[in-house]
Amino acid sequence: MAAIFYAGDSTVKFNKITTYPQTGLSQAMLLYLADGVEMKSFAQNGRSTKSFLHEGRLALMEKEMKEEDFLFIQFGHNDEKDDSARHTDPDTTFQENLMKFIQAARNKGVYPVLITPIARRLFNDQGKFLPGSHGAYPEAVKQTGEKACVPVIDLTAITEAYLQSVGDLASRAYFMWPGDNTHLKPEGAVIMAGFLAGELKKLGAPYENLLDLGNVLVENQGLDVS
């Protein structure tokens, strides 16, 4: 069976008990995978495309990837940061780095999938959700996917619509709130990973073959993601 290699940051990382209850998407995705599909999460806290590549993490993934595996690529949270070790420009270096991941996958006969970052849980004093915290980076992911003919799953749009629909109070239970509106608790990670699974199903084969969803509804629940 195929393996999923997941590149990303702390919102993706497979956490251990030392950081419980923080839960990354690569953890929660296990609930949706078909028997025999292996999750190989290389995501690490604080990484951007730049620092991930600089540390040789993609090279480590390349050593293990085999033909017809999958490479999930999900960055943005830290490419936005204003420090020289991590920052990339959404119009240039960010897209160039994403292309390096895509090319590495293609060199190995692996299916690349681009995924935009999950939304931050940001509400104003009146309880209104504030979208757009990732600036131009989600659009840059979509542009890269279009240029490279790679499927893009827009989790930013889906999760922003979801947070807006559930509201400030209810959404607190899904994040490491108070004080952390970025990282997910198990309940939130399962919901967000469900959105990802639903989008993989929409892509059809071979992506939907990764999943064992039974009769579980994991679509975006009719949310307005336009």
Answer for the pair 117, 75: CB distance below 8 angstroms, yes or no: yes
- The topology under which CATH files domain 3-210 is Rossmann fold (3.40.50)
Helix (H) or strand (E) holding 147: helix 137-148
Sorted by where each begins, the domain ranges of the chain are 3-210
Which two three-digit tokens encode residue 207?
């992506």
pTM of the model: 0.94
Euclidean distance between CA atoms 103 and 189, whole angstroms: 29
Cβ burial of 44 (10 Å; 0-12, 13-18, 19+) is middle
Cβ burial of 22 (10 Å; 0-12, 13-18, 19+) is buried
Cβ burial of 67 (10 Å; 0-12, 13-18, 19+) is exposed
Q: What secondary structure does DSSP assign to 72-85, as a single string?
A: EE---TTTTSSSTT
Which two three-digit tokens encode residue 223?
């949310």
- Residuewise pLDDT in 10s, the chain (226 residues): 799 999 999 999 999 999 999 999 999 999 999 999 999 999 999 999 999 999 999 999 999 999 999 999 999 999 999 999 999 999 999 999 999 999 999 999 999 999 999 999 999 999 999 999 999 999 999 999 999 999 999 999 999 999 999 999 999 999 999 999 999 999 999 999 999 999 999 999 999 999 998 766 555 544 444 4
